[in-house]
Amino acid sequence: MVKVFNHPLIKDKLTRMRKIETQSTKFRDNLNEISQLMAYEVTKNFEMIDIEIETPVAKTVGQKLKDKVVLIPILRAGLGMVDGLKQLIPTASIGHIGLYRDESTALPKQYYCKMPDCLKDSNAIILDPMLATGGSASEAIKIVKSFNPKSISFMCLVAAPEGLNKILKDHKDINIYIASLDEKLNDKCYIVPGLGDAGDRLFGTK
């Protein structure tokens, strides 16, 4: 399943992030806000269970999420999506996958992986604002699959068609959520028009 968002608020905030003059504080705020807007759709099919509660007026039956949610940012840039989602799902646990693209080959190198025990049987949401060649996302999905979660969703802000096609080829069984499907990759495997290096812009490292 692939969902490309076409929402005015998301477009407006993403345009602010794309602008070269946007500094890291505003970049981070908009990234968190877009993540929250996307979360409404990402979580809409999560199963619920009934619970008996008492309001100040009467006993009634309410609902709560049936399964644990695990947020899994791909370091570094995925970290910029965690706070917004954690505000909406305070009970979520957080796993981390460290991957960086080798500058000469654009292939992902893994340097870290730490998952919560509850990942098995949870709804896993992998977070990374950028889907370029798809190498990092595909590797992250493979790692998460090895923990047997109940479902896997991948959330990104900006995707290139090349990256989307790679995930669709490597992993047909996951849900993919994209704020904007951009035009193409350039010869350095950066997304065009994109927003540049998301990790550097988020953390002010360049």
Q: Where does this chain bind ligand URA (CB under 6 A)?
A: 77, 130, 132, 190-191, 194, 197-199
What are the tokens at 202? 């988020």
Q: Does the protein bind ligand PRP through residue 131 (CB under 6 A)? A: yes
Is the CB of 84 or the CB of 135 nearer to ligand PRP? 135
| Interface map 34-63 toward ligand PRP (x if CB under 6 A) | ------------------------------
What are the tokens at 169? 């080829």
> What is the rounded (10 degree) CA torsion for 121, 66, 155, 4?
130
Q: Is 140 in contact with 113 (CB distance < 8 Å)?
A: no
Q: How far is CA 109 from CA 95, 97, 136, 137, 195, in A?
A: 18, 11, 8, 12, 22
Q: From the list ligand URA, ligand PRP, none, which binds 190 (C-beta under 5 to 8 Å, kind-based)?
A: ligand URA
Query: By CB under 6 A, which span of 5-13, 24-32, 81-89, 191-199 interacts with ligand PRP?
Result: 191-199
Q: How far is CA 172 from CA 3, 139, 163, in A?
A: 14, 14, 13
Is the CB of 128 or the CB of 182 nearer to ligand PRP? 128
Distance of closest approach, residue 14 Cβ to ligand PRP, in angstroms: 15
Q: Which residues on adjacent β-strands are paired with residue 138? A: none
Q: Does the protein bind ligand PRP through residue 163 (CB under 6 A)? A: yes
| Interface map 61-100 toward ligand PRP (x if CB under 6 A) | -------------xxxx---------------------xx
Q: Is 144 in contact with 96 (CB distance < 8 Å)?
A: no
d(CA 118, CA 110): 22
CA–centroid distance for 157 within its chain? 8
Distance of closest approach, residue 156 Cβ to ligand PRP, in angstroms: 8
Is the CB of 67 or the CB of 98 nearer to ligand PRP? 98
Question: Which residues sit at the interface with ligand PRP, rule CB under 6 A?
Answer: 74-77, 99-101, 106, 108, 128, 130-137, 163, 189, 197-199
